[in-house]
């Protein structure tokens, strides 16, 4: 189905493009130093940094992917929010931000150099830079593909136009521009999706009608009636829920390793907090982000659940998910199809703009993280050490240009070799999983040494690869899904279970190796670690501020509310 857009829809898209570029150019004259360009001059208020922290992660793949998972797994998908994000966001705000912000490090790799040594930083900087370019390339590819299917737009035009717009606004306004546009995107997503969820719910007969239909969906798929509407009840065994995971793998793999690994060490999100205007604001950034984050399942997962419910048992308007060529349901089309089905022209333009905005700011988030790490941690560290600040500002702009050029190249490479993309994502998963062990030890155990951190990271990465090479998800053949080491030691009930356990293994190996090697090597004297390690850093005090401006009371509130959500949908 291709959707026809009316003039009013194009007008809304144009207003959005004009605003994005306008913001970029209005910020141009404030980009005087490299700190302005890469760190927004550390001037962003907490609420703006918080919404950007949330949106930087809310790329369109996330939006579309979460709806797809909502359709595939039901409400258990919300674990990616309530277990897989909130606790880690609280942790990074309360415990880790004092080092990130307090050390005045300009990036995550730079913190690794201050705390450990050059090689640990180099390892992180290079893998991270490569990762950002590839993710923004994948994002472009996905957008080109979707707009082609949905609107019949030409792939080249979609990719090139969005690349040029993102390029222009970051080139002009740097990180501030990216952050502002992320905040704009946040409101657009809410504005575009609230009416969609409303109409979908109306069609399906409210929550009651939805659960009734999902009971049928669950029984048809061979699960207990509540498998799609209860998040924890069926996690006792991997065979009892559509995700194919059990509670321990879920809590440890997703809730601990993967989630903490992402939210606490990924510079893409941490950069937003580093740009805020004070220590207190930096600590509150992830906490402020946590409030909307815990409610986002309503906007991104619920539409997927509505889509599958209506596919099982048609509603008034006859909506159903399309099938792929092989006859299976195309879950990825849940949100795009619902937009086309329920939205008349006018608001349809708004919905599409929200989708485009999330694609573009997902790209922009990667590009700003890339240009910073490239300039500070690769160019300044290894290529040109003592240049003027002006030169690094110039380099940041150049890095924006070639970062986007490389992303476009990746997008086109993906159209040619789809497998290479899966492969790359896999390799990055190996690199990311152990990183949290390095940070945890580095920040809370002062005995951790540079050699320990580096060997732990390498060993953890290898452990991840090894585990993946020796296991397979049920029903898959050896290859990209695992088992490529010719010996399958364990078969997991699902791909997700395999991922969680790969992460658990990688983390544990990194943790142990780091400890053993650290004990065998010479520690750094305590005075060099001041401000970098928990026991040697003064606690930031926020006495006298009202409770809603203090990290700890906010953190308690966030965790309490998340607990309540888990209980309600248990």
Rg (CA), the chain: 23
Q: Which of 152, 206, 236, 346 binds another protein (CB under 8 A)?
A: 346
Instruction: For residues 147 and 360, give the distance between their C-alpha atoms in angstroms, rounded to a whole number.
Output: 13
Q: State the number of binding residues for another protein (CB under 8 A).
A: 36
343 binds another protein (CB under 8 A): yes
Alpha helices in 343-388 (DSSP H): 347-372
- 187 or 207: CB nearest another protein: 187
Q: Which of 10, 104, 187, 384 binds another protein (CB under 8 A)?
A: 187
Are 354 and 192 contacting, i.e. CB atoms less than 8 angstroms apart? yes
- Footprint on residues 198-227 left by another protein (CB under 8 A): 199, 202-203
Longest dimension (CA), the chain: 71
Instruction: For residues 249 and 247, give the distance between their C-alpha atoms in angstroms, rounded to a whole number.
Output: 6
- 193 or 501: CB nearest another protein: 193
- 176 or 502: CB nearest another protein: 176
The closest of 194, 197, 199, 188 to 355, measured between CA atoms, is 188
x-or-dash pattern for another protein, window 6-45, by CB under 8 A? --x--xx--xx--x--xx--xx--x------------xxx
- The nearest distance, CB 30 to another protein, in angstroms, is 4
316 binds another protein (CB under 8 A): yes
- The nearest distance, CB 29 to another protein, in angstroms, is 8
Read out DSSP for 534-553?
GGGSPPPP-TTS-GGGSHHH
Q: Which of 128, 180, 267, 439 binds another protein (CB under 8 A)?
A: 180
- 30 or 95: CB nearest another protein: 30
Write down how long the chain is: 570
Which residue's entry shows tokens 């700011």? 361
- The nearest distance, CB 199 to another protein, in angstroms, is 6
Instruction: For residues 154 and 149, give the distance between their C-alpha atoms in angstroms, rounded to a whole number.
Output: 10
Are 159 and 140 contacting, i.e. CB atoms less than 8 angstroms apart? yes
φ, ψ for residue 31 (rounded to 5)? -90, 80
- The nearest distance, CB 210 to another protein, in angstroms, is 15
DSSP letter (8 states) at residue 570: -
Tokens coding 533: 């390690």
Q: Which of 2, 156, 237, 317 binds another protein (CB under 8 A)?
A: 317
- 136 or 276: CB nearest another protein: 276
Are 179 and 40 contacting, i.e. CB atoms less than 8 angstroms apart? yes
Which residue's entry shows tokens 């130093």? 33
169 binds another protein (CB under 8 A): no
φ, ψ for residue 66 (rounded to 5)? -70, -40
> Which range of residues in 61-69, 72-80, 131-139, 345-353 is near another protein by CB under 8 A?
345-353
- The nearest distance, CB 177 to another protein, in angstroms, is 10
- Footprint on residues 258-287 left by another protein (CB under 8 A): 277
- The nearest distance, CB 38 to another protein, in angstroms, is 15
Q: Which of 191, 322, 540, 553 binds another protein (CB under 8 A)?
A: 191
- 22 or 236: CB nearest another protein: 22
Exposure string of 254-291, with b = 16+ CB inside 10 Å and e = fewer, is bbbbbbbbbbbbbbbbbbbbbbbbebbbbbbbbbbbbe
Q: Which of 55, 176, 285, 455 binds another protein (CB under 8 A)?
A: 176
- The nearest distance, CB 188 to another protein, in angstroms, is 8
The residues, ordered by sequence, that sit 6+ positions from 421 with a Cβ below 8 Å of its Cβ are 134, 138, 141, 414
Q: Which residues bind another protein (CB under 8 A)?
A: 8, 11-12, 15-16, 19, 22-23, 26-27, 30, 43-45, 48, 176, 180, 183-184, 187, 191, 195, 199, 202-203, 277, 316-317, 341-347, 350
């Amino acid at each position: 189905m291709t959707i026809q857009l009316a003039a009013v829809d194009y007008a809304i898209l144009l207003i959005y493009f004009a605003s994005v570029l306008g913001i970029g150019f209005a910020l141009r004259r404030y980009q005087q130093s490299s700190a302005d360009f890469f760190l927004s001059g550390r001037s962003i208020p907490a609420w703006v940094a918080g919404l950007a922290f949330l949106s930087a992660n809310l790329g369109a793949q996330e939006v579309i992917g979460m709806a797809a998972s909502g359709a595939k797994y039901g409400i258990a998908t919300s674990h990616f929010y309530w277990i897989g994000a909130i606790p880690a966001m609280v942790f990074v705000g309360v415990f880790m931000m004092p080092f990130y912000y307090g050390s005045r490090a300009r990036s995550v790799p730079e913190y690794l150099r201050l705390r450990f040594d050059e090689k640990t930083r180099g390892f992180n900087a290079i893998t991270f830079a490569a990762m950002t370019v590839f993710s923004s390339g994948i994002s472009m590819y996905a957008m080109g593909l979707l707009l082609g299917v949905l609107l019949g737009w030409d792939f080249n035009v979609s990719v090139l136009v969005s690349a040029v717009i993102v390029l222009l606004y970051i080139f002009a306004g740097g990180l501030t521009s990216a952050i502002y546009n992320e905040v704009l995107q946040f409101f657009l997503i809410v504005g575009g999706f609230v009416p969609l969820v409303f109409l979908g719910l109306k069609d399906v007969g409210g929550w009651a009608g939805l659960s009734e239909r999902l009971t049928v969906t669950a029984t048809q798929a061979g699960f207990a009636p509540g498998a799609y509407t209860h998040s924890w009840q069926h996690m006792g065994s991997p065979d009892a829920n559509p995700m194919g995971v059990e509670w321990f793998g879920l809590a440890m793999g997703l809730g601990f390793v993967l989630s903490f690994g992402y939210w606490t060490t990924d510079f893409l999100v941490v950069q937003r907090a580093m740009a805020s205007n004070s220590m207190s604001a930096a600590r509150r950034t992830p906490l402020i982000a946590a409030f909307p984050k815990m409610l986002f399942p309503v906007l991104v997962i619920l539409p997927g659940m509505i889509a599958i419910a209506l596919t099982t048992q048609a509603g008034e308007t006859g909506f159903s998910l399309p099938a792929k060529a092989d006859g299976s349901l195309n879950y990825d089309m849940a949100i795009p199809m619902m937009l086309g089905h329920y939205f008349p022209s006018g608001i349809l333009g708004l919905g599409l703009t929200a989708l485009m905005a999330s694609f573009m700011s997902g790209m922009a988030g990667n590009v700003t993280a890339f240009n910073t790490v490239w300039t500070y941690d690769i160019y300044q560290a290894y290529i040109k050490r003592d240049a003027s600040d002006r030169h690094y500002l110039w380099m940041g702009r150049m890095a924006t240009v070639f970062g986007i050029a490389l992303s476009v190249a990746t997008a086109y490479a993906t159209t040619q070799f789809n497998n290479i993309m899966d492969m790359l994502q896999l390799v990055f998963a190996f690199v990311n999983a152990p990183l949290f062990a390095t940070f945890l030890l580095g920040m809370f155990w002062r005995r951790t040494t540079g050699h320990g951190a580096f060997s732990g990271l390498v060993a953890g990465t290898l452990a991840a690869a090894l585990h993946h090479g020796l296991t397979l998800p049920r029903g898959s053949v050896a290859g990209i899904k695992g088992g490529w080491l010719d010996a399958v030691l364990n078969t997991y009930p699902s791909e997700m279970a395999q991922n969680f356990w790969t992460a658990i293994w990688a983390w544990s190996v990194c943790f142990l190796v780091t400890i053993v090697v650290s004990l065998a090597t010479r520690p750094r004297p305590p005075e060099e670690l001041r401000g970098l390690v928990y026991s040697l850093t003064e606690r930031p005090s926020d006495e006298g501020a009202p409770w809603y401006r203090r990290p700890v009371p906010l953190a308690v509130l966030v965790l309490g509310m998340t607990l309540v959500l888990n209980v309600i949908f248990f």
